[in-house]
Amino acid sequence: MTHPIRIVLVDTTHPGNVGATARAMKNMGLEDLVLVRPRSFPHAEATARASGADDLLVRARLAGSIGEAIDGCGLVLGTSARPRAANWVVHDPRSAARLAVDASQDRPVAILFGSERNGLSNEDLGACHALLNVPADPRYESLNLAQAVQIVTWEIRMAGAPQVRRLEPEAPPATAGQIENLRGHLATVVAQLGFKDERNVANLVTRLERLLMRAVPDEKEVQILRGVLTAIQRGIGAREVEDA
């Protein structure tokens, strides 16, 4: 699964974060990496931290400006850990991922990540349509750059994953009347099993009934359960004959 979603790292200072970003992207099926004014690239540490995703590093493009990096893109999102002016639309990773996946059907999408120390500048954010913020514990909100990329790219993968289709049920859900008959049958069999303490019997029946309701059985499953209960009753009857 790939989407035309571009990860743009701006003014990255640590080459290891470039490599770890490539790894995070490859894990989640993204391939378009653009580096704006990286301090050190290419670099052996970037290759080492890519851990098998060095093909993304080979294909990574260098850009001298944000404008060059986002050329051809429609939606542009900028990540920010700091509160900004109130007129910004701010998305969490999940809503941003859904927005990005939808927008990428028309044009490539760019998601910008700033430097490790200062993040994106106000000037950088001027190219963005909205902000993306990863909620964290307010006592320690600082995320490693590659960790932030991993969170965002994982959400993108989940947003773009095909929805699991439910298989057609083998039988329709049991009706309320069928469930009520099953509950009555169950209570009868529990009583026939010879439990002495009526209070414990009532508690056992109640718990078994709750189990049934949580399971939401279909018609066929109700028939199977009632067949099992009937077989138990036959066993009880045969045992009583032998004991007589």
Q: What tens digit of pLDDT does each residue of 2-40 get?
A: 679 999 999 999 999 999 999 999 999 999 999 999 999
Residues 203-241: tens digit of each pLDDT: 888 888 888 888 889 999 999 999 999 999 998 886 665
Q: Which two tokens stand for residue 194?
A: 């010879």
Q: Is 91 helix (H, G, I), strand (E, B) or coil?
A: strand
Check residue 84 and give its pLDDT.
Answer: 65
Q: Which two tokens stand for residue 152?
A: 């965002």
CATH for the 176-243 domain, from 1.10.8, 1.10.3470, 1.10.20, 3.40.50: 1.10.8
Residue 87 has pLDDT above 70, yes or no: yes
Q: Which residues, in sequence order, are CB contacts of 145 under 8 Å at separation 6+?
A: 9, 12, 14, 17, 20, 21, 113, 116
Q: Is 46 helix (H, G, I), strand (E, B) or coil?
A: helix
Q: Please, where are the H alpha helices in 32-175?
A: 44-50, 54-59, 66-69, 93-103, 122-125, 145-160
Strands of the chain, DSSP E: 5-10, 32-36, 61-63, 76-79, 90-91, 109-113, 130-132
CB of 35 closer than 8 Å to CB of 61:
yes
Question: What is the C-alpha radius of gyration for the chain, rounded to an integer number of angstroms?
Answer: 30
Check residue 238 and give its pLDDT.
Answer: 64
Angstrom distances, CA of residue 237 to CA of 16, 184, 232: 75, 19, 9
Confidence of residue 178 (pLDDT cuts 50, 70, 90): very high
Per-domain residue ranges for the chain? 5-160, 176-243
Domains 5-160 and 176-243 share a fold: no
CA pair distance 32, 173, nearest whole angstrom: 47
CATH for the 5-160 domain, from 3.40.1280.10, 1.10.10.60, 3.40.50.1980, 3.40.50.12780: 3.40.1280.10
Which residues are 14's β-sheet partners?
A: none
Confidence of residue 157 (pLDDT cuts 50, 70, 90): very high
Measure CA 244 to chain center.
Answer: 62
Residue given tokens 């809503």 in the structure block: 95
Amino acid at 29: G
